[in-house]
Structure 1
């Protein structure tokens, strides 16, 4: 007599018993992901919110993908922080240079000291290649470049019509007036500001060979501070200056 096979009913394991059956919603999500395996490639922002156990294998798991994404974002944030620190250090240096120049202007006892302080500071400390400080006077001045307010209005009236800094590429006759015909040919872009306080006293212009260097008044905050102080200091030594309307 052959032995009859014995069949015994196995008791479901505790893990199987405890595991809940997937809901219709979960099944629908799983089916969608199976049909669209590129979903998380197109929606990487979701990876940072997922909680998936790591499993070793030949393919890159979502956990590893998530870690890479977080790592990349961390590197990007460090780069941004480094850029902000560089800007802060540059501003600190600019502030220190501007402070020294302003103190020199306040302490100046003559027009010559004012002119020397401005031109030397901008050329040597600020490393500006082209500097033009023109004073407005109806009679000759002992130092510096000077012109009458009428001549200035004819040549660069549009640049000194208000207290705003004008930045960009200037016209040929404006460059020739500000920097001289020879130097003006090499100026690509300029920042120009009128020196005015209860009347127009002059104009300050700085230039670069790069046509894109001075544009849209970007980075000219410290130049406006210098112009404000100059506008208040100059009348002490150029009493012949008169308002321009």
Structure 2
């Protein structure tokens, strides 16, 4: 930014600061000379609190308008939330599409390739894809209850599980999402996909797991194909 532009901005800010809020008399005088202001700009009424009749008199018409206005504000808030959900879903679809493309284009269908693809496509700090058979007995025992009904786990894993899956790539204060990958659609878990974030609430138990389940299904298809390829030889 040049000095001239900086000075011009500074002068503009000074002028804004020096402007005084118009007095009530000035506003009233303007409204008297522009009686059709609210007809030409009805949106102003959305930001004005109109007075009701003096208490204890109750105007049903005024009460009805207040209720309608409250409902309109509630509906606007709900619509904004729906727009945000739609935007989040669109972003999730975009990420999954990119993930699918990466898996389909991979020439080496190995756990290491899956790790790299997940880390490249998603906002995580670390990723591990570990065969369940490679985990020690204590870790498998700690995971046994979860593996009986393996919906994705989100939160702070047990230290033994964290160290077995992530080593020193995930601090003790970090959080993780664990996804069990079966060898077949109805078979026992064959791999554990671990996603880690250094933030304690990066993955938390309150979040939904549908997106993680979709990642798990794609990872399972990828690793299942790799197993089928290996079985041929």
**TM bracket (short chain):** 0.5 to 0.7
For residues 85-139 of structure 1, give each alpha carbon's deviation from its aligned partner in whole angstroms, at most 9, with x where no partner exists: 10111011001101210221123110254332122112xxxx223x33223187x
TM-score for both structures, normalised by structure 1: 0.58
Q: Mark the CA change 1:205 to 1:148 in structure 2 (over 3 Å): closer, same or farther.
A: closer
Match of 1:153 among 140, 148, 155: 140
Larger radius of gyration: 1
The aligned runs of 1:114-125 (5 Å cut-off) are 114-122=114-122
Matched with 2:81 is 83
Distance in structure 2 (CA, Å) of the matches to 1:240 and 1:157: 29
Verify the 8 A CA contact 2:114 2:129 in the aligned structure 1. Answer: no
| Residue equivalent to 2:66 | 68
* C-alpha RMSD over aligned residues: 3.2
Measure the CA separation in 2 of the matches of 1:105 and 1:89. 25
Deviation digits for residues 138-180 of structure 1, max 9, x if unmatched? Answer: 7xxxxxxxx3586752463444344422233322222222222
Query: Structure 1 regions of 5+ residues with no counterpart?
Result: 1-55, 139-146
Candidates 95, 112, 137, aligned match of 1:97? 95
Aligned to 2:124: 128
The alignment's TM-score, normalised by the length of structure 2, stands at 0.61
Q: Structure 1 residue 58: deviation in Å?
A: 4.0
Matching residue of 1:176? 163
| 8 Å CA contact 1:194, 1:227 repeated in 2 | yes
Aligned twin of 2:183: 197
How far apart in 2 are the matches of 1:237 and 1:109?
A: 10
Contact 1:136 1:148 in 2 (8 A): yes
User: Separation in 2 of the partners of 1:104 and 1:149?
Assistant: 31
Provide the aligned length of Structure 1 versus Structure 2: 172
CA distance in structure 2 between the partners assigned to 1:151 and 1:99 by the alignment: 37
